[in-house]
Amino acid sequence: MAEVLLERMEQDGAVWAEITLNRPEKGNALNMPMLRQLDGFARDLAADRAVRVVLLRGRGRFFCTGGDIEAWGALGPHEMARDWILPGIDVFTRVATLPQPVVAVLSGHTLGGGLELALAADLRIAVRPAKLGMPEVTLGMIPGWMGVSRLAETIGPARARHLALLGAPVTAAHALDWGLVTAIAEDVEDLEKQAAAWREKLCANGPAAMALVKGLIGGLHADLRQHHAAAVAEAAGTADCREGVRAFLEKRKPEYRNQ
pLDDT at position 162: 97
Check whether 185 has a pLDDT greater than 80.
yes
Check whether 176 has a pLDDT greater than 70.
yes
Give the burial string for 81-113 (b: 16+ CB within 10 Å, else e): beebbbebbebbbbbbbbbbbbbbbbbbbbbbb
Section 180-187 average pLDDT: 97
Q: At residue 38, what are phi and psi to the nearest 5 degrees?
A: -60, -40
Closest CA to 58 of 88, 98, 21: 21
Section 152-157 average pLDDT: 95
Check whether 235 has a pLDDT greater than 70.
no
pLDDT at position 243: 77
- Binned at pLDDT 50, 70 and 90, residue 156 comes out as very high
User: Is residue 235 included in any domain, yes or no?
Assistant: no
pLDDT at position 75: 86
**Residue 49 amino acid letter:** R
Cα separation, 30 vs 35, in Å, equals 7
pLDDT at position 217: 85
pLDDT at position 189: 97
pLDDT at position 32: 96
Section 15-22 average pLDDT: 98
* β partners of residue 125: 105, 183
Enclosing domain of residue 122? 4-187
For the domain that residue 172 is a member of, what is the CATH number?
3.90.226.10
User: Is residue 255 included in any domain, yes or no?
Assistant: no
Element (H, E) at 216: helix 207-218
User: Is residue 238 included in any domain, yes or no?
Assistant: no
- Catalytic residue status for 116: yes
- Catalytic residue status for 255: no
Check whether 245 has a pLDDT greater than 90.
no
State how far the alpha carbon of 135 is from the alpha carbons of 5, 96, 115, 197, in Å. Answer: 27, 22, 10, 32
Check whether 222 has a pLDDT greater than 60.
no
253 vs 35: which has the higher pLDDT: 35
Section 202-224 average pLDDT: 82
pLDDT at position 227: 58
Cα separation, 237 vs 232, in Å, equals 9
Q: At residue 111, what are phi and psi to the nearest 5 degrees?
A: -130, 150
pLDDT at position 171: 98
Which residue in 116, 189, 243, 255 is the catalytic one? 116
Cα separation, 241 vs 203, in Å, equals 45
Count of CB atoms situated within 10 Å of the CB of 18: 18
User: Is residue 51 included in any domain, yes or no?
Assistant: yes
pLDDT at position 218: 79
pLDDT at position 207: 92
What domain count does the chain have?
1
User: Is residue 169 included in any domain, yes or no?
Assistant: yes
Closest CA to 109 of 24, 42, 34, 194: 24
How do residues 27-70 score in pLDDT, each as one tens digit? 999 999 999 999 999 999 999 999 999 999 999 999 999 999 99
pLDDT at position 228: 58
**% pLDDT > 70, the chain:** 92
Tell me the pLDDT of the chain averaged across its residues. Answer: 91
Which residue in 3, 7, 136, 186 is the catalytic one? 136
User: Is residue 217 included in any domain, yes or no?
Assistant: no
User: Is residue 161 included in any domain, yes or no?
Assistant: yes
pLDDT at position 253: 83
User: Is residue 162 included in any domain, yes or no?
Assistant: yes
How do residues 192-210 score in pLDDT, each as one tens digit? 999 999 999 999 999 999 9
Cα separation, 141 vs 82, in Å, equals 16
Check whether 119 has a pLDDT greater than 70.
yes
